[in-house]
Amino acid sequence: MRGRIVVIGGGLAGITAAIALAESGADVTLLEARPRLGGATCSFHRDGLIVDTGQHIFLGCCSAYRGLLAKLGMTEYAPLQDRFDVTVLAPGPRRARLRRTALPGPLHMLPALGRYPFLSWAERAKVSRPALAMRLLDPADPAADTQRFGDWLAARGQSERARRALWDLFSVSALNIAGDDASLALAATVVKTGLLGKNNAADIGVPALPLGELHGDAAATVLAKLGAQVTLGAKVTAIEVGAIEGGAIEGGAIEVADGTDARFRIRLGRGEDADLAADAVVLAVPHDKAAPLVPPGALPDATVRGWAGLGASPIVNVHVIYDRPVTDLPFAAAIDSPVQWVFDRTRISGMDGPGQYLAISLSAADEYADVPAARLREQFVPALAELFPAARDAQVTEFFVTRERRATFRQAPGSGALRPRPATRQPGLVLAGAWTDTGWPDTMEGAVRSGLAAAVELRHTVLTSTMGVRQ
């Protein structure tokens, strides 16, 4: 199978689609507007440290993402826990440990939940009610997308305390929205797949390499081996269909230098000599970037306008470097604290010396997105000291903040109805991205699944039929 394909967007969705299509024999060009691949999962250098733009983890049930790691040759650098095991901290300091057993799911979590000290005996006894009800809930049912997760939990006996101290631990970080405000459909996907499925489904994987190496650098190497071309710093300004110099031809094609025809022209805003011709296009950028690039008629206008309703939710990462170690935990969750999750990034950042580098990941971070770093320092340095007593005597040698203001779409009720499938009305043009209708939340797993779905759509509907003519 041969076909000239342009993939627009070098995040996980675009990388996945490009690899899958190149493996099928297509002539692939991947365009990325930034100077590096990886999208939201990339790294940068700061004062000798390698800093990830955000802290990303994955679960054992993330089969598509783990498949991508295998293709990139990175599996050993993203190890999974032997068994789901999370330390939950509270000021005091108080702590609990949620560790699964070897029992089959969903029984594997019951002993840990039965001992969870941050809930009363009565609250622990009621946890099984929504868990059992969730097993009967279909996340694909449109009615589930109209309900708030918090309302559904409250109707099944979950108190405000139980929702904050237990359910939010998983839903807020997975869905990047306040737990009560999340779409029930997406929350159900997280709970059913991760917590109520196979007993190893929620085992946590934490990258052992910076994300720039794990994803971007590795993808560039694999794509080069497959013969794909990667162009960085290439911002697409338009996708034109059947357009040739002098006007547009309905249903026509672009005549290119080798004397053959192509269906699309990709405008890069650098003059016509820089434009690219393609038989097919994978548009793998965020929804707000995709909307102005969709050619007229490729989707109903109301559909494209509706994408604005997906909105955006920010993630803020607070980076604190101490002059000495303050904890031996690789990561921990927190309750009754502004801290949500905290990760030890000392080794992965390449940090030398006796200190320790902790990164706080704040999901659904609307209240922090525009707060100056100095004010965040006033709040989060004492908050860490309340969780880690050794931090009280340690000196903070560096403090900085990274912000992803549009980290995900806002995964609220009604968002499912706005998420498009990969196919469009225009043959050869498909959509990809974690915001598309993958059946998963806006996560690394969702992004990879969307890239695979886009590649399958092209192979089935275009490359193997109308365009698979160049051998």
Q: What is the dihedral angle through the alpha carbons of 230, 232, 236, 239, rounded to the nearest 10 degrees? A: 0
Tell me the residue ranges of DSSP E strands in 145-219: 204-205
Section 221-240 average pLDDT: 97
**Same domain, yes or no: 227 and 240:** yes
Q: Is the pLDDT of residue 47 over 50?
A: yes
CATH of residue 9: 3.50.50.60
pLDDT above 50 (res 259): no
Q: Are residues 157 and 129 in the same domain?
A: yes
Q: Nearest to residue 113, comparing CAs of 101, 102, 91? A: 101
Q: Residue 168: is its pLDDT beyond 90?
A: yes
* Spatial CB neighbours of 268, under 8 Å, sequence gap ≥ 6: 31, 234, 235, 236, 237, 274, 275, 276
pLDDT for residue 242 is more than 90: no
* 233 and 194 in a common domain: no
CA dihedral 12, 399, 409, 183 (to 10 degrees): 110
80 vs 255 pLDDT, higher one: 80
- Mean pLDDT of the 53-68 span: 94
177 token code pair = 């929205």
Q: Which token pair is 430?
A: 């498909």
Q: Is 342 helix (H, G, I), strand (E, B) or coil?
A: strand
- Mark which of 175, 199, 223 sits at the end of a domain: 199
For residue 126, the domain's CATH number is 1.10.405
pLDDT band at 464 (very low <50, low <70, confident <90, very high): low
Between residues 350 and 254, which one has the greater pLDDT?
350
Please give the Cα distance from 455 to 30 (Å, whole number): 13
Which residues does residue 221 pair with via DSSP β-bridges, in sequence order?
none
- 183 with 120, same domain: the answer is yes
Check pLDDT > 60 for residue 23. Answer: yes
| pLDDT band at residue 468 under the 50/70/90 scheme | very low
Neighbour-count burial of 372, counting CB atoms closer than 10 A to its CB (0-12 exposed, 13-18 middle, 19+ buried):
exposed
Identify whether residues 223 and 304 lie together within a single domain. yes
Task: Please say if the pLDDT value at position 250 is more than 90.
Answer: no
Indicate whether 61 belongs to any domain: no
Who wins on pLDDT, 106 or 308? 308
Residue 57, phi then psi, degrees to nearest 5: -125, 170
Residues 89, 98: contact at Cβ < 8 Å?
A: no
Torsion of CA 276, 12, 347, 356, to 10 degrees: 100
If asked whether residues 395 and 322 sit together in one domain, one would say yes
Q: Is residue 37 part of a domain?
A: yes
When mean pLDDT is compared across 174-183, 242-251, 278-287, the lowest value belongs to 242-251
d(C-alpha 150, C-alpha 297), whole Å: 39
Residues 215 and 350 reside in one and the same domain: no
Instruction: Compute the distance between CA of residue 437 and CA of residue 449 in angstroms, rounded to an integer.
Output: 10
Crossing angle of helices 63-72 and 218-225, rounded to 10° = 70
pLDDT (mean) for 335-348: 97
Tokens 């039929």 belong to 465
pLDDT interval class at 274 (50, 70, 90): confident
Average pLDDT of the segment spanning 336-352 = 96
pTM of the model as a whole: 0.93
Domain identity same for 283 and 219: yes
| CATH at residue 393 | 3.90.660.10
- What is the maximum span of the chain, computed from C-alpha positions, in angstroms? 76
CB 433 within 8 Å of CB 285: yes
Tell whether 170 and 228 lie within a shared domain. Answer: no
- Residue 167 inside a domain? The answer is yes
* Average pLDDT value for residue range 202-227: 97
* pLDDT tier, 271 (very low <50, low <70, confident <90, very high otherwise): low
Distance between start and end Cα atoms, the chain: 7
Whether 59 is in a domain gets the answer no
pLDDT of residue 350: 94
Partner residues linked to 4 by β-bridges: 27
Strand order in the sheet with 313-322: 94-99, 85-90, 331-334, 341-344, 356-362, 313-322, 396-408
Last residue of a domain, one of 177, 199, 221: 199
- Residue 94, both tokens: 């108080």
Is residue 87 helix, strand or coil? Answer: strand
- Provide the number of structural domains found in the chain: 3
Number of other residues whose CB lies within 10 A of the CB of residue 242: 18
Domain with 340, as residue range(s), is 313-408
CB atoms within 10 A of CB 213: 18
Whole-number mean pLDDT of the chain?
92
The last residue of one of the domains, among 366, 383, 408, is: 408
Tokens 């709970």: give the residue: 191
